Amino acid sequence: MADQHGSSATESTESSGSGSAGVPVSRGLFLQLLTATISFVIVAVPAALGGLFFLDPLLRKKSGASGSSGGAAKKDDEGFIRLDVTADVIPADGLPVAVTVRDDSEDAWNKFTDVPVGSIWLRKGAEGVISAFNSVCPHLGCSVNYRRSENDFYCPCHTSAFSLDGTKMNEVPPRDMDSLEVSLRTEGKADPAGLEIWVKFQNFQRGKAEKKPL
């Protein structure tokens, strides 16, 4: 009887011992899985964010290209930009009109839509031909103004003066005002009688006799 009781006690003890040992084993596996998961997240999330950071410019360009066809184009493949003014508002008497040129501007990470990129002077000649001049003085880059009292273009920084056709009137500027190509269009298509004014806006090197685009 004693042996039977002893052996029962021993079996009971062994059984209870193996059961209690099972709890730490399961908990250990859980902790290992938890640690592995946390480690994966710590490594994967920064890597994914870094990838998006470097791909962002490409994604922006692709998005901009896909969305550009949704409305009327404001710039063509040759660099002509459609202005916000039309030919019928340019005075027929040759009075110059200052116009802000707007275009999309972007750097490596950001794209700014329809922002001012420069200004120009527009005027209508005797035969109704519209001329455009960059408002930046070719001398040292100040803004050229229209001087009503003298009926000319004038740079207040260094007294450069130009006639209304852009020809320099003194020896201060190294060249005439920088003229720009103009195209009259209707719904984006060339039309001499069109009201849309498209200008190939460019900036040029300053202080030189030769007109060279930047």
Q: Please give the CATH architecture assigned to the domain spanning 74-200.
A: 3-layer Sandwich (2.102)
Residue 192's nearest CA partner among 200, 183, 201 is: 183
Q: What is the pLDDT of residues 122-138, one digit of tens each?
A: 999 988 999 999 999 99
54 pLDDT higher than 50: no
- Does residue 78 register a pLDDT over 90? yes
The region, left, alpha or beta by phi > 0 then psi within -120 to 50, assigned to residue 149 is alpha
For residue 59, the surrounding DSSP H or E stretch is: helix 2-67
Distance of CA 62 to the CA centre of its chain: 13
**Maximum C-alpha span of the chain:** 132
Q: Does the pTM exceed 0.85? A: no
| Residue 107's pLDDT band (cuts 50, 70, 90) | confident
Mean pLDDT for all residues in the chain: 81
The three-state secondary structure class of 85 is: strand
Whole-number pLDDT of residue 47? 54
pLDDT of residue 13: 46
Give the confidence band of 16 by pLDDT, cuts at 50, 70, 90.
very low
Average pLDDT for residues 168-184, to the nearest whole number? 98
State the average pLDDT over residues 64-72: 43
More confident residue, 122 or 8: 122
- Collapse the DSSP code of 173 into the 3-class scheme (helix H, G, I; strand E, B; otherwise coil) and give the result: coil
Calculate mean pLDDT across residues 9-19: 46
Alpha carbon distances (Å) from 87 to 68, 176, 177, 185, 192: 25, 24, 21, 10, 11
d(CA 93, CA 74): 28
The domain spans of the chain are 2-68, 74-200
